[in-house]
Amino acid sequence: MMLNFVNVILPIPLERSFTYAISDEEALVLQPGMRVAVPFGKSKIYTAIIYSVHQNPPEAYEAKEIHEILDDYPIVTPVQLKHWEWIASYYMCTLGEVVRSALPGAFLLESETLILRNTAYEIDENELLDDEFLVFEALQHQSILKVQEVSAIIERKNVLPILQRLLDKNVIVLKEEVYEQYKPKLVRYVKLGAEHTSDQKLEELLNSLTRAPKQSQVVLSLFQLQGKRQKPIKVSELEKASNSSKAVIKSLVDKGILEEYFIKTDRVNYEGENDNSESKDLNEYQEAALADIKSSFEEGKVTLLKGVTSSGKTEVYVKLIEECLEKGLQALYLLPEIALTTQLISRLQEYFGEKIAIYHSKYNVQERVEVWQNVLQSKPKAQLVIGARSAMYLPFGKLGLIIVDEEHESSFKQFDPAPRYHARDAAIVLGHFHKANILLGSATPSVESYYNTQTGKYGYAEITRRYGNVLMPDMELVDIKKAQRKRKMKGHFSERLFLEMEETLKERSQIILFQNRRGFAPLMECLTCGHSPQCPNCDVSLTYHQYRNQLRCHYCGHHTALPEACFACGSPELDTKGFGTEQIEKEVKELFPEAKVGRMDLDTTRGKHGYEKIINAFEQQELDILVGTQMLTKGLDFRNVNLVGVMNADSLLNFPDYRAHEKTYQLLTQVSGRAGRTKKRGKVLIQTYNPYHQILKQVTTGDYVNMYKEQLYEREQFKYPPVNRIIKVTFKHKNYNVLNEAADWFTSALRTNFGGTVLGPEYPPVARIRNQYLKHIVVKVQKANSLVQTKTNIRRIEKSFKSVAMYRSVRVIYNVDHI
């Protein structure tokens, strides 16, 4: 007799896949990409993805049986499995880690998951099955349940299918996924019971309710709300309009006077009305770029579109998307998270209406599952997927086009946890699997993408003019060293910037001020002894946040009240050093008391609609001045901004990173691009201590090509990308000595293998975070050497490393193509 087995991927960081036994019947239905619940270890249950179905028993252990099948059909496609394998191997992590990062949490229930009641939704107990009801009831008494507890309650070992059902029915939510704004999937509506609809009956009804004024008010309100057109009325609407309660409405429903009904609303539905307007006719520059892009697509090449800010790149993308959708293929539009604003989305919705699905991290699990299913089933409402980096994990069936907008953005690279992938690069690989066209777009391309166009690997198209002959902004460097010497500074504002702001406000135009640090001041310093308060968990000074009167650590979140006196010497004379957005906001308010000032940084944009509120207020010109960090550099199209002020360019240039200059160029160019996007020429003032710095000059003259050439030359000299590849290895441990020994051991093993191309070990600028010490090694891989071979060697070294007892607890983290 042949036995049947499945190999599954568990969403945990273990190297290998695991084999489980299945029955003959199960073997008939199971396919790669379907989910099963499997036991693991002593008592855990995980959701696993089937990788293969076969008849080869494992050699080293006896296969356990699976618990249950969770899907009727594969939710992961063969192309995805292949792509995820590439990610695991290229970025040196496990397939399990990729699966965990790729699938929405709701697909991966496991015994460690915590379960809460979904309070945003009213449950009709009659709709619950017995076992579901038991869980529902338990959650009335206890706010959080563990999966084991659920298991005890319903006296069954495998509870994942039940939990899945409860999730689908909106009865429960998962712990890590509690979001402030939950839009229920089913909306409750009410109407007048059928027998009361005629005028006469209605009058009788109202007469009969004279003793129940609250109920009669509800009926009257319903009547008013409905108006002539009998539009559907939500229970919540009625409750508000009649100023009554759910209980009153319910009693009317119970009496049969009102009838309840449900309408299913898709959470990610587009509710606009003006979809499918014609796309715009391109101007000659856009036409030329489009033609170049198409001919390069014909050659099967990834193509870079370099178009200055406001040149109308988005309209070019629209043409390509239209063409792709007409062929019945799906399109993927990737953006950095912070550029993913309602502004852009509503612009695309004008053309593509409900064909658009949006996918990003601020969506809750259910919303993400919906998009996943819609993409998997190639639904009409998911033909164009717009999303941040994780959108490239979706189960596309027939992908025809990938656009990576703002391709230079470093936030495309996932930093933590594994897989530490670059969404642009991983999307390119995905595109190749699908034989899709791939377009990268930016006003300030990354050095590596531009390099690829120069070597002929990528195709190239450009637009050098702003749309509508709007001029590029007039840029000017302001020497603050000189201004300080001449005492011409008001706080952090040079006289030049101050006067220009005054002028701009007088003309009723808006201003953006850019400072790449949040908080009030990065340092608090004692004027007597020089001590500055440090984070107890990290090797970094605490940032002063005046608004909350707190010192905060930006690495671990630690915070304390502002001390009255120096911790070290007791002196009450404390002063701040440096400045962040909060301080700028305060100074602006003092300098321009009439102006309305807003601030956009991590501290003011938390929550699902955080950005949107601020962006909308600025767009509606409720604010005159917006102070912000690099968040406001991305893809925003404000019509009335005529002045952009960069408070201090030097902190960008001095960043300890081989890309600091490239990044400075990109950031300053992008933020400048927010100025003067309509007829009037915009103005940009960049304050700096180094007005003769090469990069700043290149920014003001828009000289990308020379910036590129110089950067490339330097990187060739020092063996950095794009000519070489780098793999960064980070060691992490709570014990300082163990960490140092371990890093030394690993480094010398690497040196024996690679000679001079290993840098370090070195402490990063912040050498301890959350009580863990850190040390880095950078391995530079020359083009001639195989990246694959290098990785294999590193893995081999890691194996012997881990066999040293003392090093076993040291975490080794790989970051391939670290940026």
640 contact, one of ligand ADP, Zn ion, none, CB 5-8 Å limit per kind: none
From CA 199, how far away is CA 164, in angstroms rounded? 47
Contact 317, 441 (CB under 8 A): yes
| 800: number of Cβ within 10 Å | 12
Q: How far is the CB of 405 from ligand ADP (least distance, A)?
A: 8
Phi, psi of 464 (to 5 degrees): -100, 0
Cβ closest to ligand ADP, residue 130 vs residue 281: 281
Residue 681 and residue 473 in contact, taking contact as beta carbons nearer than 8 Å: yes
Instruction: Out of 151, 303, 310, 390, point to the residue binding ligand ADP (CB under 6 A).
Output: 310
Measured distance CA(475)–CA(673) in Å, rounded: 11
Among Zn ion, ligand ADP, none, residue 637 binds (CB under 5-8 Å by kind):
ligand ADP
Has 324 been labeled as part of a binding site? no
N residues, the chain: 819
Q: Is 535 annotated as a binding residue?
A: yes
Residue window 409-448: x/- pattern of binding to ligand ADP, with contact defined by CB under 6 A: ----------------------------------------
Confirm whether residue 526 is marked as ligand binding: yes
Q: Of ligand ADP, Zn ion, none, which one sits near residue 538, judging by CB under 5 to 8 A according to partner kind? A: Zn ion
Interacting residue ranges for Zn ion, rule: CB under 5 A: 526, 528-529, 531, 535, 537-538, 553, 555-556, 558, 566, 568-569, 571
In the bound state with ligand ADP, the residue whose beta carbon lies nearer, of 266 and 612, is: 612
CA pair distance 626, 785, nearest whole angstrom: 49
Contact track, ligand ADP, 141-160, x by CB under 6 A: --------------------
Q: Is 93 annotated as a binding residue?
A: no
The entry of ligand ADP, Zn ion, none near residue 314 (CB within 5 to 8 angstroms by kind) is ligand ADP
CB atoms within 10 A of CB 509: 19
Count of residues engaged in binding ligand ADP, rule: CB under 6 A: 15
Helices 694-701 and 704-717, interaxial angle, to 10°?
A: 150
Partner touching 280 among ligand ADP, Zn ion, none, CB below 5 to 8 Å by kind: ligand ADP
Residue 313 binds which one of Zn ion, ligand ADP, none, with CB within 5 to 8 A depending on kind? ligand ADP
Q: Which does 556 bind (CB under 5 to 8 A by kind): ligand ADP, Zn ion, none?
A: Zn ion
Please report the beta strands in 446-586, taking only residues with DSSP state E, as ranges in sequence order. Answer: 459-463, 474-479, 489-490, 493-494, 510-514, 523-526, 543-545, 550-552, 559-561, 574-577
Strands (E), 491-616: 493-494, 510-514, 523-526, 543-545, 550-552, 559-561, 574-577, 597-600
Cβ–Cβ under 8 Å, residues 74 and 32:
yes
Is the sign of the CA dihedral 663, 666, 669, 673 positive or negative?
negative
Measured CA to CA, the distance from residue 430 to residue 336 in angstroms comes to: 18
CA–CA distance, 521 with 544 (Å, rounded to integer)? 5
What whole-number distance in Å separates Cα of residue 602 and Cα of residue 518? 7
Q: Of residues 467-486, which lie at the interface with ligand ADP (CB under 6 A)?
A: 467
> Is residue 538 part of an annotated ligand binding site?
yes
23 closest CA partner among 70, 75, 74, 66: 66
Residue 476 near residue 685, CB atoms below 8 Å? yes
Residues within window 623-642 making contact with ligand ADP, judged by CB under 6 A: 637
133/555 with CB nearer Zn ion: 555
Q: Out of 151, 164, 311, 330, which residue is the one contacting ligand ADP (CB under 6 A)?
A: 311
The binder of 311, among Zn ion, ligand ADP, none, by C-beta within 5 to 8 A per type, is ligand ADP
| CB nearer ligand ADP, residue 42 or residue 679 | 679
> Quick check: 350 binds ligand ADP (CB under 6 A)?
no
- Least separation, in Å, of the C-beta of 573 and Zn ion? 8
> Do 50 and 31 touch, CB atoms closer than 8 A?
yes
For the window 273-292, what string marks contact with ligand ADP as x by the rule CB under 6 A? -------xxxx--x------
CA-based nearest residue to 385, from 354, 405, 356 = 356
Q: Which does 566 bind (CB under 5 to 8 A by kind): Zn ion, ligand ADP, none?
A: Zn ion
Give the binding site for ligand ADP (CB under 6 A).
280-283, 286, 307, 309-315, 467, 637
Residues marked as binding for Zn(2+)?
526, 529, 535, 538, 553, 556, 566, 569
Residues marked as binding?
526, 529, 535, 538, 553, 556, 566, 569
